[in-house]
Amino acid sequence: MKSLVFIIGMLLSLASLTSLAEGFRAQATYPAVYKSECGSCHDPFPPGLLNKSDWGRVMQNLDRHYGTDASIENAKTAATLANWLEQNAGHRADTGTNPPRFTATHWFKREHREVPPEGLKKLGINTPTYCTGCHLGAAQGRYGENEIRVPGQTRRHEDD
């Protein structure tokens, strides 16, 4: 009986490690303020794609946010967003880019290595940060394999 309890405990531990490694998969919904402030210009990215340090740098430099001024005038709103991003940040290493770019992470590159650039162009996608172009549920925080469309590519688990 003790060995069965041990095995179940180990399986649960492995399952939790998987969700930590993927970070954003556990994020089912985004707060309305995140959708309205950040999602008004681009898809609201899963906070687990960057770590606390990277999100801190993003929030500290909103006046130079990837080529545009995305300053948040209301200090309370900015603090609420910064706190939420920190609480939901991933556990990956810093991106090593300035500004931080989740597309530069080893994880992102590995997950998207099969995506043909010509397929993105057929969809009118000029940047890999336009998540909704392929991930149909991205705006709602859903990135499941069954909600992906890329021309010229079959889904990974189609035969399962």
Per the structure block, which two tokens stand in for 101? Answer: 């770019």
- The token pair at 133 is 């172009």
Q: Is the link from the previous residue into 99 a cis peptide, with omega within 30 of 0?
A: yes
Is residue 16 scored above 50 in pLDDT?
Answer: no
By CB neighbour count within 10 A (0-12 exposed, 13-18 middle, 19+ buried), where does 76 fall? Answer: exposed
Q: Could you report the per-residue pLDDT of 17-45, keeping only the tens digit for each?
A: 433 444 444 455 788 899 899 988 888 88
DSSP state of 47: G
- State the pTM of this model: 0.72
